[in-house]
């Protein structure tokens, strides 16, 4: 809808995707990213091993690699995926920080809600929005 000028803005968990869409011509070259002063919603990708996994040890090795500095810096590089890293860059030494030079850092990110709050929000949403619209 944004690409077709039907709405004035769009949202994404991956701000670098905006740059790729500008380069491809999908988004107008005047498109800009913004951040909110009081906090930005962030999203974490989760990795899991199915209970029935036939190769649990191999899955642990893969997940350990994916959570490491090398894979996270590659993932967050705007020339690759360009997604936010799970690593707190402020806790890295200077050499490690350099690995994230081509990354987008989402400032003022607020953590995701605790899972226990989701049913409460769904209940309120149902009562206040869905049922009140009837």
- Of 123, 91, 110, 87, nearest to 13 (Cα)? 110
Q: Is residue 126 part of a domain?
A: yes
Q: Is residue 8 part of a domain?
A: no
Put simply, whether the predicted model's pTM sits higher than 0.75 gets the answer no
Q: Is residue 26 part of a domain?
A: no
Q: Is residue 19 part of a domain?
A: no
Q: Is residue 87 part of a domain?
A: yes
* Weakest-pLDDT range from 4-8, 67-71, 82-86, 128-132: 82-86
Mean pLDDT for all residues in the chain? 88
- At residue 16, the pLDDT reads 79
Rounded to 5°, the CA angle 24-30-36 comes to: 105
pLDDT by residue (tens digit) across 86-112?
888 889 999 999 999 888 766 777 777
User: Which is more confident, 10 or 103?
Assistant: 10
- At residue 134, the pLDDT reads 74
Report the alpha-carbon distance of residue 69 to residue 103 in Å, rounded: 13
**Is the pLDDT assigned to residue 42 strictly greater than 80?**
no
Neighbours of 67 (CB within 10 A): 13
- At residue 131, the pLDDT reads 87
Query: Which structural domain, as residue segments, surrounds residue 46?
Result: 35-130
Q: Is residue 113 part of a domain?
A: yes
Number of structural domains found in the chain: 1
pLDDT by residue (tens digit) across 59-72?
999 999 999 999 99
């Amino acid at each position: 809808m944004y690409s077709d000028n039907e709405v004035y803005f769009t949202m994404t968990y991956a701000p670098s995707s905006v740059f790729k869409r500008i380069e491809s011509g999908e988004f107008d070259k005047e498109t800009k990213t913004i951040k909110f002063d009081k906090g930005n919603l962030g999203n974490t990708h989760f990795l899991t091993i199915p209970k029935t996994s036939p190769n649990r040890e191999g899955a642990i090795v893969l997940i350990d690699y994916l959570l490491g500095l090398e894979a996270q810096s590659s993932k967050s590089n705007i020339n690759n995926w360009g997604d936010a890293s799970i690593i707190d860059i402020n806790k890295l030494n200077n050499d490690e920080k350099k690995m994230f030079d081509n990354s987008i850092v989402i400032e003022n990110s607020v953590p995701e809600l605790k899972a226990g709050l989701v049913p409460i929000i769904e209940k309120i949403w149902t009562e206040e929005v869905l049922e009140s619209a009837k």
